[in-house]
C-alpha cells in the first residue's frame, strides 16, 4: 500500500503498539479526556468552517477529522477551473497549515481530488482553544478565497488546475498561523 514500507512483520512497531496500550491502560482517564477533547475540537472546527462558507462531506464529523468539499467553493481566476485539493493543500502548507488532499465521491481520479482532510489530534494535544480554532478557520477561508486558478497542460497531455495567491495574503496568513502556534502551551 505504501511504497518503500512494505514487508514485515516489523517487530519494533508491534512492540511500540504494545507499550502504547500499556500506557493507555495505566492512564486511562487522561487518555479518554484527550480523545473527547479531540472530538469536540474537530466538531467545533467543522462548525467554524461551515460558518465561513465551506461545505463538509458526510454532514460534518463525528471523528478526529473532517473532509471539506472544494467543488462548490467559489474562486477567482480562469472560468471553469475549480480549486482542487492538491493546490489548496500546497497553498495552505505555505502558511503553516498542514492538510491532505482527499478524493471525494464523484472525483474521477486521485490526481483531481476535490477535497481537503483536516484533523485535530495534534492541535488538541497542544492545547488549542476555541478562539484559536475560529481564527484558524478564518485564515483557511482567507487563503483559499484569494486563490486565482488557471489551467496548465502537463506531460500526459491533460489540463491541470494551478493557483496563485497574492504574496501579501500569504504573509498575513503565515503571521496569523505563527501567532496561534506561539500561543499554544505545548
For 160, the 3-state DSSP assignment is strand
Give me the mean pLDDT over the 20-48 stretch. Answer: 95
pLDDT confidence bin for 5, thresholds 50/70/90 = low
pLDDT at 38: 97
76's enclosing H/E stretch is strand 76-77
Which one is predicted more confidently, 178 or 108? 178
For the chain, percent of residues with pLDDT exceeding 90: 63
Phi/psi at 164 (5° precision): -120, 155
pLDDT at 1: 44
What's the pTM value of the predicted model, to 2 decimals?
A: 0.85
pLDDT confidence bin for 8, thresholds 50/70/90 = low
pLDDT tens readout for residues 133-169: 999 999 999 999 998 876 777 777 677 667 888 999 9
Using an 8 Å Cβ cutoff, are 104 and 69 in contact? Answer: yes
Which one is predicted more confidently, 43 or 12? 43
Cα–Cα distance measured from residue 168 to residue 155, given in angstroms and rounded to the nearest whole number: 32
- Considering the chain, what is the average pLDDT of its residues? 88
pLDDT exceeds cutoff 80 at 3: no
pLDDT tens readout for residues 52-107: 999 999 888 999 999 999 988 877 776 777 888 888 999 999 999 999 999 998 88
Give me the mean pLDDT over the 8-35 stretch. Answer: 89
Amino acid at each position: 500500500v505504501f511504497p518503500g514500507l512494505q514487508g514485515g512483520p516489523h517487530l519494533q512497531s508491534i512492540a511500540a503498539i504494545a507499550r502504547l496500550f500499556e500506557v493507555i491502560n495505566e492512564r486511562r482517564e487522561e487518555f479518554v479526556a484527550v480523545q473527547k477533547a479531540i472530538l469536540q475540537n474537530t466538531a467545533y472546527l467543522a462548525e467554524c468552517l461551515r460558518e465561513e462558507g465551506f461545505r463538509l462531506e458526510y454532514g460534518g464529523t463525528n471523528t478526529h477529522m473532517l473532509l471539506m468539499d472544494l467543488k462548490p467553493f467559489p474562486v477567482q481566476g480562469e472560468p471553469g477551473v475549480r480549486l482542487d485539493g492538491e493546490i489548496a493543500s500546497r497553498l495552505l502548507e505555505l502558511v503553516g497549515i498542514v492538510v491532505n488532499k482527499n478524493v471525494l465521491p464523484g472525483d474521477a481520479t486521485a490526481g483531481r481530488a476535490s477535497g481537503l482532510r483536516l484533523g485535530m489530534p495534534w492541535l488538541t494535544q497542544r492545547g488549542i482553544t476555541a478562539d484559536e480554532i475560529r481564527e484558524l478557520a478564518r485564515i483557511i477561508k482567507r487563503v483559499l478565497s484569494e486563490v486565482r486558478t488557471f489551467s496548465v497542460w502537463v506531460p500526459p497531455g491533460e489540463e491541470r488546475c494551478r493557483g496563485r495567491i497574492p504574496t501579501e495574503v500569504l504573509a498575513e496568513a503565515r503571521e496569523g498561523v505563527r501567532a496561534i502556534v506561539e500561543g499554544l502551551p505545548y
